[in-house]
Amino acid sequence: MYGTPDADGFSWTEAGQEVGYRDISVFSGTGCGDIWAGEKNGDVLHFDGSVWDREYLDFYHFDPVAGIQTFGDGWVAVMGSGRVELRDSESGSWQSLGYYSEMLREFHAVSPTEILASGLNHFYVWNGNRWYEIKPTNGLVNGFASMASGSVYALASDDTSSLHLWNGETGYLRDLEQVAGIPDFFADQICGSVSTETIWIGGRQDNQGQYSAVFRFRNGTLENVSGDALISGRILAMTELQPDDLFVLTWKDVWRFKDGTWSRETGLPTDEVFTTIWSHPDCGVFVQSGPTFFKDYSQE
């Protein structure tokens, strides 16, 4: 999978080893030879650098895969059908992580023995043996993300969108501390940096508003970095390729925030509806619509 070089750098091309015309809801991976994809019909696919194979998990058919996390030591966590499944790094077998009092909606795995999750009503943590209820959500949880240091944050929306830090304590008392709030803001997406202490938040200043905004949380300070960018529609996903090199996806556009400047990506089909985006510094950026489109930024 390589981008096509041209006079302006690199242009978008249809990925050479893409999964075909599949309805992908999420991507993840540790590198170009270890990419995972979850479909809206509940299937999980894996690319080993040569071919795509299907993994067989006990998810309900036509129930979308809501999230995938991959780690360098070979284990994988996947959420679907309101629960989390964990792939053993040695045997490749999948384990369903117990039972809980409500369907899970969002999750973030720190390790196989520390997984943070949320339902409609409560936060939960998996300790390697069972789920523990932490606290009420007090609003809709839009997702989790982590910084390069491993600090985990949760994004919640009620009357005010708020960012909460997971303290990672392993005793009975666990909590999520609110570290920032955005009044009159309807948060949609959260994205963490893999190499810096940065969290990105995307959403709308008005629930019926035409344009979306992006905030950056760094060193305890929340900053609106949207500037003059007219990001039309709801933000579906975000991914950071390099430090302060953020890609933002809406249903019809891909926006790039690099070195403090916004630009809208060109060269993607205008008649496609986009569903998700993922990047890796060694591979480039992947955008899913019908086929998967790819751009290699690693050489820039």
The candidate with the shortest Cα–Cα distance to 64, out of 47, 77, 82, 52, is 82
Q: Is residue 97 part of a domain?
A: yes
Residue span of the structural domain in which 200 resides: 25-245
Does some domain include residue 262? no
Distances (CA, A) of 175 to 68, 74, 77, 164: 24, 29, 23, 9
Q: Position 296: which residue type?
A: D
- Domain assignment present for 287: no
Residue 7 half-sphere exposure toward CB, CA atoms < 13 A? 0
**Alpha helices, H only, 158-298:** none
In a domain, 270, yes or no: no
Domain for residue 79, yes or no? yes
Phi, psi of 52 (to 5 degrees): -95, 135
290 within some domain: no
How far is Cα 193 from Cα 241, in angstroms, rounded to an integer?
9
Residues 185, 205 contacting (CB under 8 angstroms): yes
Asked if residue 275 is part of any domain, the answer here is no
- Please tell me the total count of domains within the chain: 1
* Integer angstrom CA distances of residue 72 from 30, 44, 57, 164, 217: 6, 18, 21, 26, 26
Residue 154 lies in a domain: yes
Instruction: Identify the DSSP state of 233.
Output: S
How confident is the prediction along the chain (300 residues), in pLDDT tens digits per residue?
Answer: 223 334 455 567 776 555 655 778 899 999 889 999 988 888 899 988 888 888 888 776 667 888 999 987 889 999 987 889 999 988 889 998 876 778 889 999 988 888 999 988 888 889 888 888 888 877 789 999 999 988 999 998 877 899 999 876 544 445 678 899 988 888 889 999 989 999 999 998 765 568 899 999 999 999 999 988 889 889 999 999 999 999 999 988 999 999 899 999 888 888 888 889 999 888 888 888 766 666 666 544
Please list, in sequence order, all residues whose beta carbon lies within 8 angstroms of the beta carbon of residue 261, skipping any fewer than 6 positions away.
none
What is the rounded distance in angstroms from the CA atom of residue 283 to the CA atom of residue 73? 19
**pLDDT for position 76:** 94
What pLDDT sits at residue 273?
85
CATH code for the domain in which residue 143 is found: 2.130.10.10
Q: How far apart are CA 189 and CA 141, in angstroms?
A: 10
